[in-house]
Amino acid sequence: MQSVSKLTNLQGKKVILRLDLNVPLNNGEITDTTRIDKVLPTIEFLLEQNSKIIILSHVGRPKGKVIKDLSLKPIQKDIEKKLNEKIKLIEQNIYEIKKDMLDNFNEKILLIENIRFYLDEEKNDTNFAKHLASLGDIYVNDAFSCSHRAHASVCEISKFLQSFSGLQLDLEISALKKITSSITKPVTCIIGGSKISTKINIIKNLISKFDNIIIVGAMANNLIEHNGYNIGKSLKEENVNSIVNDILSYSKEKNCNIIFPEDVIVANNLNGQPKIKELNQIKLDEMILDIGPKTIESICNIIDNTNTILWNGPAGYFENPNFANGSTAIAKKIVEKNKEDKIYSVVGGGDTVSLINSLNAVKEFNFVSTAGGAFLEYLEGKDLPGISALN
Ligand code: 3PG
Ligand code: MG
Give me the pLDDT at residue 376, please: 84
Give me the pLDDT at residue 32, please: 86
Taking the chain (391 residues) in consecutive chunks of 10 residues, what is each chunk's mean pLDDT?
Answer: 95 97 92 91 97 98 96 98 98 96 96 98 98 98 97 98 98 91 90 86 90 96 96 94 94 96 98 98 98 98 96 93 96 94 89 86 90 87 95 93
365 alpha-carbon distance from chain centroid? 15
Distance 374 CA to ligand 2 centre (A): 8
Do 262 and 298 form a contact (C-beta atoms < 8 A)?
A: yes
| Total residues belonging to the chain | 391
Do 218 and 231 form a contact (C-beta atoms < 8 A)?
A: no
CB of 20 sitting under 6 A from ligand 1: yes
Half-sphere exposure of 103 (CA within 13 A, CB side): 4
* Type and span of the H or E element at 301: helix 293-304
Do 370 and 42 form a contact (C-beta atoms < 8 A)?
A: no
Give me the pLDDT at residue 358, please: 85
Instruction: Give per-residue pLDDT as tens, 248-285.
Output: 999 999 999 999 999 999 999 999 999 999 999 999 99
Best mutation site among 20, 142, 146, 198 for ligand 1 pocket (most ligand atoms within 8 Å of CB): 146
Taking the CA of 150 as reference, the closest ligand is 1
CB of 61 sitting under 6 A from ligand 1: yes
Using DSSP, state whether 215 is helix, strand or coil. Answer: strand
CB of 63 sitting under 6 A from ligand 1: no
Sheet with 263-267, edge to edge strand ranges: 275-278, 263-267, 287-291
CB of 149 sitting under 6 A from ligand 1: yes
CB of 145 sitting under 6 A from ligand 1: yes
How many Cβ atoms sit within 10 Å of the Cβ of residue 363?
Answer: 9
Q: How far apart are CA 377 and CA 128, in angstroms?
A: 26
Give me the pLDDT at residue 309, please: 95
Q: How far apart are CA 317 and CA 123, in angstroms?
A: 37
Distance 282 CA to ligand 2 centre (A): 35
Give me the pLDDT at residue 170, please: 97
Sheet with 109-112, edge to edge strand ranges: 87-90, 109-112, 52-56, 14-19, 138-142, 162-165
Do 366 and 175 form a contact (C-beta atoms < 8 A)?
A: yes
Q: How far apart are CA 357 and CA 49, in angstroms?
A: 32
Q: Is the pTM of this model over 0.95?
A: no
CB of 373 sitting under 6 A from ligand 1: yes
The residue whose CA is least distant from atom 9 of ligand 1 is 373
